[in-house]
Amino acid sequence: MIPSGLGGWLTWNIGWIVPGLAALTLAALVALGWLAVRLRAVERQYRELTLGTDGGSLHEVLEAHVREVRETSECVRELDALARELERSGRRHMQRVGLVRFNPFRDAGGDQSFAVALADGEGNGFVVSSLHSRDVTRVYGKPLVAWNSIYALTDEEKQAIDKARA
């Protein structure tokens, strides 16, 4: 016979109720432990995120970070423009040099004569040659445009240009 009422029903089903409540309690404890571990991880991540700040709200930290990223981005743009300008102007600076020493006359001692080529990155510049003999030293200058000159070049001047170009 089945007892009537709530008390009777509880008495009749006590064998199912106690293990069910124990299982629910155990599941709640496991969930609580898992949530505690997750909360610690989130707190650690929050501390790392706010490290180096005045500890304001996450919104304030993110605003400060975005502001810093924008400022950094602007600095990078300015530096990029400056680097490009320096690269453009650097092509026009004298940066290539070639020197050849030689002895054009058998009666003069040593390699006292020379040809020197000075040019920018695009081969614009000049060649200076000096021919030294016992009695006189002569100096010649010839312009260079794209590694060529409108004047005839000696072999030594061509060698100096080749050295500067290399």
Are residues 80 and 59 part of one domain?
yes
Q: How does residue 75 score in pLDDT terms, banded at 50, 70 and 90?
A: very high
Q: How far apart are CA 112 and CA 138, in angstroms?
A: 12
Are residues 114 and 67 part of one domain?
no
**Of 158, 156, 163, 112, which is closest to residue 134 (Cα–Cα)?**
112
Is the pLDDT score of 79 beyond 90? yes
The answer to whether the pTM exceeds 0.85 is no
Which two structure tokens, joined as six digits, stand for 88?
A: 């453009």
Q: How far apart are CA 151 and CA 127, in angstroms?
A: 11
Output the pLDDT for position 57: 73
Beta strand 137-144 with 113-119: parallel, antiparallel or unpaired?
unpaired
**Of 123, 106, 109, 135, which is closest to residue 160 (Cα–Cα)?**
123
Beta strand 137-144 with 125-132: parallel, antiparallel or unpaired?
antiparallel
Nearest 5 degrees, angle CA 70-CA 74-CA 79?
145
Place of tokens 């690269």: 87
Output the pLDDT for position 3: 61
Are residues 59 and 21 part of one domain?
no
What is the count of structural domains for the chain? Answer: 3
Q: Where are the beta strands (DSSP E) in the chain?
A: 96-102, 113-119, 125-132, 137-144
Are residues 86 and 106 part of one domain?
no
Are residues 100 and 128 part of one domain?
yes
**Of 164, 159, 102, 154, which is closest to residue 133 (Cα–Cα)?**
102
- In 50-145, alpha helices (H): 58-90
Question: For residue 26, what are the domain limits?
Answer: 1-49
pLDDT digits (tens, 9 = 90+) for 121-139: 889 999 999 998 878 889 9
Is the pLDDT score of 115 beyond 90? yes
Are residues 118 and 149 part of one domain?
yes
Output the pLDDT for position 22: 92
Are residues 58 and 16 part of one domain?
no
Are residues 15 and 30 part of one domain?
yes
The region of weakest confidence among 45-49, 137-141, 148-152 is: 45-49
Output the pLDDT for position 74: 95
Q: How far apart are CA 87 and CA 81, in angstroms?
A: 10
Average pLDDT, the chain: 88
